Amino acid sequence: MENSLLWEVSIADFIFVTMILGGGTAWMTGRAVAQTWRTPLQLAGYMILLSLAVRFIHFALFHGTLLSGYYFLIDFVFILVFAFLGMRFTRAEQIARQYSFAFTRSGPFGWRQKSN
């Protein structure tokens, strides 16, 4: 085993499971939460469940530790970042489209008030 501060077994395992599988799922969950106008707190709750699933994949496929609090927290932080980015990206699109009389999109993650 090649333990590190960010990954438990290997960097390839971390990139594939946590960042690609977990991050992609988190991005899509963030989009779904934004589309249904739910709160960031609800998104964080969903990400706790997703982090548990990611920990299980590390354990089942790559012989990682199932109940590792430290690596669970690492996975959770990375997944939470992807989730909030997905939520913010979608929310910016929603605000600019639904309230186009008052707001315009300002970059991929923001919006600004229209000037008269």
Contact residues for 65 (Cβ-Cβ < 8 A; gap 6+): 8, 58, 59, 71
pLDDT reported for residue 3:
66
**By the 8 A CB rule, do 70 and 87 touch?**
no
| Bridge partners (DSSP) listed for residue 111 | 105
**pLDDT number for residue 2:** 57
What does the angle CA 49 – CA 51 – CA 65 come to, to the nearest 5 degrees?
120
| Residues in the chain with pLDDT values less than 70 | 1-3, 116
pTM of the full predicted structure? 0.86
Burial 48-68 (b: 16+ CB within 10 A, else e): eebbeebbebbbeebebbeee
Supply the pLDDT for residue 78.
Answer: 96
